[in-house]
A and B are shown apart, each in its own frame.
Chain A
């Protein structure tokens, strides 16, 4: 039997606070009752899936990026490094070469082109990956170090690690950062399907449109989940219908969900209609993208 490639689903949104974490954690936990599931928290600047997914901590590993370190004794102040740096991360200040690690994109140009080898690349910690397990659920949290500005390198590294080490887990969910900028693109790029979580408000619709444009440019199939359904208006549904975007589920606006969520509890076990929504989503994904059991 040939091994199936895992089905990778990105859970994203244009607008923040629409329910990515609610959906990611509940869908992952619900799926893991019947099949082996991986949940990856890629919202590296503020990962919070851990509040809802307990499990046993199995490992923590440091993640690094490479940045140049100036070797004053070898340097002849020729200026090549500062001229070649597109990001002005290496700057010649008189007889001093300053390296700004926050600006460095690890392109190696300064280091490779230095005739005196005075800028060797060094490891610099940018974040941590932790792995937790709970029955059929494997949970990876990717967390950026405080004061680090670049989420993208860490997101790439997390995807690479998942590709290498967790290829056998058939169902993989990636909780993405909000917005439509580079971190979201880095998080969604390496997936097969994108779920956009939104709400039926003007803000929700505006940011949904931006997210649909972004994800369409990546050439990914996508579906929408309307959260807090019942508030706002029908414009999100009209927009989806008009653009032939499937609406996978509508999760009603319900105080009970907020109550559970605020206590750090999974919602589907306590609120029946949430479980119904999850079943609908899984049914849709299985029917349109193959059965991954």
Chain B
């Protein structure tokens, strides 16, 4: 399984970024290879419109099975993400990636 996080940094100890479209990084954890890779999403800072759909496109290219985020995607981003068979878990703000991952594993995160 590939797990994507919206994150404010690039390591397991970074905090979850509660924002979807304007997340600072997208971090991808591959459970098989145990790899942790990150995508810098700084470019959306300059976007006044369409941050959600732009970030959705980046996530789409990573093809994760699960997305763990905070507030959850907005309407436009949800519209884009529905084309991807991916489970989305929200309310992971105020957690590090590691805490969020463990909570997901324990079934404590809310799925939308």
Contact pick for B83, options A82, A85, A93, A102, CB 8 Å: A93
Could you mark each residue 48-74 of chain B with 1 if its beta carbon is under 8 Å from any beta carbon of chain A, else 0?
011111101100100000000000000
> Given contacts A98-B79, A100-B76, A100-B79, are A93 and B49 in contact (CB under 8 A)?
no
A98 to B83, CA, bound (A): 9
> Given contacts A91-B80, A98-B83, are A103 and B56 in contact (CB under 8 A)?
no
Q: How far is the CB of B64 from chain A (nearest CB, A)?
A: 13
Q: How far is the CB of A77 from chain B (nearest CB, A)?
A: 13
Could you mark each residue 31-55 of chain B with 1 if its beta carbon is under 8 Å from any beta carbon of chain A, else 0?
0000000000000000101111110
A88 to B55, CA, bound (A): 9
Question: Binding site of A, secondary structure by majority: helix, strand, loop or mixed?
Answer: loop
Cβ contact within 8 Å between B83 and A88: no
Cβ contact within 8 Å between B57 and A91: yes
- Is the CB of A203 closer than 8 A to any CB of chain B? no
- Is the CB of A87 closer than 8 A to any CB of chain B? yes
Q: Which residue of B is nearest A82, CB measured? A: B57
What A residues does B51 contact at CB under 8 A? Answer: 88
Q: How far is the CB of A154 from chain B (nearest CB, A)?
A: 17
Cβ contact within 8 Å between B84 and A93: yes
Cβ contact within 8 Å between B60 and A100: no
- Is the CB of A253 closer than 8 A to any CB of chain B? no
| Contact surface of A with B, Cβ cutoff 8 Å | 82, 85-89, 91-94, 96, 98, 100, 102-103
Interface residue range, chain B = 10 to 19
A100 to B50, CA, bound (A): 9
In the complex, 26 of the A-B residue pairs with CB atoms within 8 angstroms, ordered by the A residue number, are A85-B50, A87-B49, A88-B49, A88-B50, A88-B51, A88-B52, A88-B53, A88-B54, A88-B57, A89-B50, A91-B53, A91-B57, A91-B80, A92-B57, A93-B56, A93-B83, A93-B84, A94-B83, A96-B83, A98-B53, A98-B83, A100-B80, A102-B76, A103-B49, A103-B50, A103-B76
A94 to B60, CA, bound (A): 7
Contact pick for B53, options A86, A89, A94, CB 8 Å: A89
What B residues does A92 contact at CB under 8 A? Answer: 57
> Which among B47, B53, B79, B84 has the highest number of chain A CB atoms within 10 Å?
B53
A103 to B80, CA, bound (A): 13
What B residues does A87 contact at CB under 8 A? Answer: 49-50
Q: How far is the CB of B24 from chain A (nearest CB, A)?
A: 18
> Which among A89, A96, A100 has the highest number of chain B CB atoms within 10 Å?
A100
Cβ contact within 8 Å between A100 and B83: no
Could you mark each residue 82-100 of chain B with 1 if its beta carbon is under 8 Å from any beta carbon of chain A, else 0?
0110000000000000000
What B residues does A91 contact at CB under 8 A? Answer: 53-54, 56-57, 80
Q: Which residue of A is nearest B44, CB measured? A: A88
A96 to B57, CA, bound (A): 11
A86 to B54, CA, bound (A): 10
A98 to B47, CA, bound (A): 19
A98 to B60, CA, bound (A): 12
Q: Which residue of A is nearest B60, CB measured? A: A93
A92 to B83, CA, bound (A): 11
Q: How far is the CB of B22 from chain A (nearest CB, A)?
A: 12
What A residues does B84 contact at CB under 8 A? Answer: 93-94
